Amino acid sequence: MVVVEKDLVTLNQDIAGQEIGIPVYRIFYKQRSDKQSFDKKTANKDNANKDALYDLSQVKSTSKKQLPKVYIQSAVHAAEMQGSAVIFKLIEQLKNLTLHAEFTLVPNCNPFGRTQRAGEYLQGRYDATTGNNWNRFYHYEPSDVVEFVETLTEQQISLIENGSESELVLAFKSFLKYKFGLKLDQDWGVNTAQFLNTTLQEIAVDADIVLDLHTGPASTHHIYSPEFLTQSAHAFNFENIISIPTTFAGALDEASFTPWVYLAELLKQKGITLNYKVNAFTIELGSQENICLTQAQSDSGGILNYLQANNLIDGFVGVTPVEVTTTLLKNYKTLFSKHAGMVEYLAKPGDKVNKGQVIARVLNSLEFDTKHAVVDVTAPESGTIILHYPSAAVQVGTQLFKIAVS
């Protein structure tokens, strides 16, 4: 029997003291007498004991086979709502599929951005008091990984040398969670974005697959995949993949896979091979300020296809493959406006454009009586338009287009 459990993890925000929560859904296969309810302690700030030394021996190997875990969140940029519609469609469908994994799904995961209106739109991209991008303050400290490796016992190392990684994996996840707790609990505190992001990581850290659902401004579908996963990312069946290096710039996908890449590197220096990696992606589901349940059904198909390709579910009917283009991050370029004015976007998300092609024109109302009334904007290189700015009103330096240069 597939079970859907719901919990509300509170992230106290309101100046009146009103607790505001993020809904967390867990979907799993439950046998007869299993008692496997949601562990409310995951987001509990009180149980981190910062004075205690971390004791790896506390992490017991469990005889029971652990199922893989999948974590999916949406709308950490609050106006990027289509991911929440996709999570709704995933819940509908997962209930009727065969599950070989446990799922944790967190729609509308940002209670700070969720209430921040800016005119008729939702300004959920950054903390309105600081400008901090809500997707740039996840925790990753390379020194944590070093510290973990230093505490490994002979016994743990011999286990992994004998091909059994699972205990080490469990221990490292537990260690990372312990570090998240320490960070949230420090005397001087953390900023709001760190508080939000690290709290989300406390839930996400258990997962083997992490999907962070976003959208662009006015955008076509695309996926950020770490280089080592671009091949497997084809299974999502979205037309465009941006291949990013395994470095950390603050986002959840990077914060999820980078510690494991570095752990493997450090172990390799000791002659030990670690095969396990967390697979993490940022998935961009079209345009912000918009939801469409019909499109969400299709979007969720790509995710289910990926899950099935990785043996995490069974019974999904599959998708009609599309042609996929992979672009290295260094070739995924931003065209900033050189003019202030009103812009008509001639090239649309998904369009292929050639170098020199007019892709936008800027109207300058002070020059309506001269030949400078309309200024053409041309593509500096050939490629695919992935997204453009959502408004016609631009200033010098506005991010007009992002183009996957071919």
Residue 350 binds to a second copy (criterion: CB under 8 A): no
CB-nearer residue toward a second copy: 105 or 207: 105
Residues touching a second copy, count (CB under 8 A): 98
* Side chain identity, residue 11: L
Helix ranges (DSSP H) in 330-378: none
Nearest distance, CB of residue 219 and a second copy, angstroms: 12
* Lookup: tokens for 385: 């338009």
Q: Assess 369 for contact with a second copy (CB under 8 A).
A: yes
Q: For a second copy, which is the closer residue by CB, 75 or 168? A: 75
* Contact track, a second copy, 239-278, x by CB under 8 A: ----------------------------------------
Q: Does 158 bind a second copy (CB under 8 A)?
A: no
Site string for a second copy, 93-112 (x = CB under 8 A): ------------x-xx--xx
Most distant pair of Cα atoms in the chain: their distance: 81
Position 279 contacts a second copy (CB under 8 A): no
Q: Is 40 in the site for a second copy (CB under 8 A)?
A: no
Under the binding rule (CB under 8 A), the answer on residue 340 touching a second copy is yes
The SS3 call for residue 242 is strand
- Give the shortest CB-401-to-a second copy separation in angstroms: 10
Whole-angstrom distance, CA of residue 287 vs CA of residue 220: 7
* Displacement of CA 105 from its chain's centroid (Å): 12
**Contact of 257 with 278, CB cutoff 8 Å:** yes
Output the DSSP codes for 41-94: GGG-STT--TTSPP-GGGS---SSPPPPEEEEEE-SSTT-THHHHHHHHHHHHH
Task: Report the alpha-carbon distance of residue 42 to residue 22 in Å, rounded.
Answer: 13
* Beta carbon of residue 284, minimum distance to a second copy (angstroms, whole number): 16
Contact call for residue 194 and a second copy (CB under 8 A) = yes
The mark string for 51-90 relative to a second copy (x by CB under 8 A, - otherwise) is: ---------------------------xx-x--xx-xx--
Q: For residue 366, count other CB atoms closer than 10 A to its CB.
A: 9
CA nearest neighbour of 84 among 66, 72, 94, 97: 72
Q: Is 374 in the site for a second copy (CB under 8 A)?
A: yes
